Amino acid sequence: MTAPRTYHITTFGCQMNKADSERMAGILDALGLEACEDANQADVVLYNTCTIRDNAEQKVYSYLGRQAKRKHQQPDLTLIVAGCVAQQEGEQLLRRVPELDLVMGPQHANRLGDLLEQVLDGNQVVATEPIHIVEDITKPRRDSAVCAWVNVIYGCNERCTYCVVPGVRGQEQSRPPDAIRAELVELGRQGYREVTLLGQNIDAYGRDLPGSRSDGRHSHTFTDLLYAVHDVPGIERLRFATSHPRYFTERLIRACAELPKVCEHFHIPFQSGDNAILKAMARGYTHEKYRRIIAKIRELMPQAAISADAIVGFPGETEAQFENTLRLVEDIGFDQLNTAAYSPRPGTPAARWENQVSEDVKRDRLQRLNRLVEVKAAERSQRYLGNIEEILVEGENPKNPAQVMGRTRGNRLTFFDGDCARLRGQVVPVKITQVRAFSLTGEGVTGAIAQPPLQPIASP
Ligand code: SAH
Ligand code: SF4
Ligand code: F3S
């Protein structure tokens, strides 16, 4: 076998997968391989896969089919499936696609170098056993030079009855606070300006870490972590996702209000606005509790943007129960909502229930919900009109090279005229002149707002 020279990665699914792909790309770079845009030209093709819904999984098979065919002409092609489909299917994937060289679950992402070596030795390899995730020592190849993702907790200990994630991502594993801080310090040094801390349930961070404080209080909560990383030089903005309502404490809300770098944007999925459905989903909270969290956030941060995920057509969901979801969306007015029709997933309890909702009803509910979401998002955008917002410039507007794009602290995508080479990575005050449901347009203003002084803040 000749040594591979180029690699291609396609990533499906959530930010966790995107962060894993950046680390895997970093490992391949360190091995001397070169990144290649076109999957059909690359010597190593890696699909980092998602199985959250059936359509996500099917997409992977259609991509894989094409590469499997190519391998018949090009036996030296190395074909890798990583991520959540790999974990879910394991050995079975080799039976379905015998052309595969490597099947690796998400917990093995940092081991790609070793695994690839075994493949180049002539082995077909499956790495899906649960392991303690090894700290990453290679440098990720990050897509952006301005905004970076940093994993803080892997896995999920919840058991929502519809969800494959606990099965494919394994038990919660929190990274030590020192390792997280060190990664941020390095990012700040390299010129990154914004960090999004990542976890399936980020507010559950730290429960598995050893050690407690002398006063008996657990000192490794997510709130403590925010205080511990807040003063990292160079990093001007901190975001985090995803939050679970069960762990979203008032102390966390207060910390976000107090810490100037933490952006006023919260992604807190509610899934359903109906208590009986929430119970059947095993979510562990009521819609009243959810509403209290949002009220507290808005009391302390009136400008805060709220986004969430919701599912329609969960087994047994009646029209009246679906309307409770509409009501919640109407009442809260989300800035953004990721919606999905319930998809029965292998190995999850709800998939076996007999009270499944028909595809027609699911489609109808999804459309009705999406219409409402757009109306509410457009209403929420109105509050920006005429405001001066701080925009962190990320890059050029792909549709108009005379404009740059970036985000408000509340995470609204914003475009304005400007020179990308000069502005990238800068926080620019922008007067908002046009608003759409999910994006804004404005004009840069100079000297309009002074940057708030960023000072280290001690943990209370
Ligand atoms: N840990 C996060 C979400 C992770 S999965 C949380 O608990 O909120 C991302 C989203 O996919 C979920 O919020 C949910 O809305 C959606 N999802 C998960 N399983 C699904 C399924 N079987 N069918 C449809 N949507 C699903
Ligand atoms: Fe899935 Fe629930 Fe875990 Fe979120 S909390 S990843 S929805 S099991
Ligand atoms: Fe998909 Fe796995 Fe994320 S199933 S949503 S890529 S955790």
Strand order through the sheet with 265-267 = 265-267, 305-312, 336-341
Cα–Cα separations (whole angstroms), residue 174 to 30, 231, 457: 26, 21, 23
Q: Supply the pLDDT for residue 218.
A: 56
Confirm if 13 and 84 have CB atoms less than 8 A apart.
Answer: yes
Report which ligand 1 atom has the smallest distance to the Cα of 156.
1
Residues 6+ apart with CB under 8 A from 5: 33, 34, 43
From the CA of 158, how far away is ligand 2's center (Å)? Answer: 6
Residues 6+ apart with CB under 8 A from 111: 104, 127, 134
What is the block-wise mean pLDDT of the chain (460 residues), using blocks of 10 residues? 89 96 96 96 98 96 95 95 97 95 97 96 96 83 95 96 96 95 96 97 94 60 97 98 97 98 98 98 98 98 97 98 98 98 97 98 98 98 97 97 97 97 96 97 76 44
Strand order through the sheet with 78-82 = 34-35, 6-11, 44-49, 78-82, 102-104, 125-127
Site to probe by mutation for ligand 3, drawn from 9, 11, 15, 17 as the one with most ligand atoms within 8 Å of Cβ, is 17
Site to probe by mutation for ligand 2, drawn from 16, 17, 165, 242 as the one with most ligand atoms within 8 Å of Cβ, is 165
Confirm if 430 and 407 have CB atoms less than 8 A apart.
Answer: no
Burial call 236-264: b when 16+ CB within 10 Å, e when fewer: bbbbbbbbbbebbeeebbebbbebebbbb
Atom 3 in ligand 3: residue holding the nearest Cα: 14
Say how many C-beta atoms besides its own lie within 10 A of residue 86's C-beta. 27
Site to probe by mutation for ligand 1, drawn from 51, 242, 309 as the one with most ligand atoms within 8 Å of Cβ, is 309
Q: Supply the pLDDT for residue 2.
A: 73
Q: Supply the pLDDT for residue 379.
A: 97
Report which ligand 2 atom has the smallest distance to the Cα of 271.
7
Task: Indicate which ligand has the atom closest to the C-alpha of 269.
Answer: 1
Confirm if 141 and 22 have CB atoms less than 8 A apart.
Answer: yes
Q: Give the pair of three-digit tokens for residue 405.
A: 């794009």
Task: Indicate which ligand has the atom closest to the C-alpha of 51.
Answer: 3
Q: Give the pair of three-digit tokens for residue 446.
A: 């100079």
Q: Give the pair of three-digit tokens for residue 300.
A: 């302390």
From the CA of 138, how far away is ligand 1's center (Å)? Answer: 30
Please work out whether the CB of residue 195 comes within 6 Å of at least one atom of ligand 2.
Answer: no
Confirm if 337 and 329 have CB atoms less than 8 A apart.
Answer: yes
Give Cα 375 to chain centroid, integer Å: 25
From the CA of 59, how far away is ligand 2's center (Å)? Answer: 22
From the CA of 169, how far away is ligand 1's center (Å)? Answer: 13
Please work out whether the CB of residue 156 comes within 6 Å of at least one atom of ligand 2.
Answer: yes
Coil/strand/helix, residue 385: coil
Structural domains of the chain ordered from first start? 6-127 (3.40.50.12160), 147-383 (3.80.30.20), 385-444 (2.40.50.140)
Residues 6+ apart with CB under 8 A from 32: none
Please work out whether the CB of residue 11 comes within 6 Å of at least one atom of ligand 3.
Answer: no
Please work out whether the CB of residue 165 comes within 6 Å of at least one atom of ligand 2.
Answer: yes
First-to-last alpha carbon distance for the chain, in angstroms, is 59
Site to probe by mutation for ligand 1, drawn from 14, 51, 52, 200 as the one with most ligand atoms within 8 Å of Cβ, is 52
Cα–Cα separations (whole angstroms), residue 188 to 85, 183, 423: 34, 9, 17
- Pocket residues for ligand 1 (CB within 6 Å)? 52-53, 162-163, 165, 200-201, 242, 244, 269, 271, 309, 311, 340, 342-343, 345
Number of H helices, E strands in the chain: 14, 19
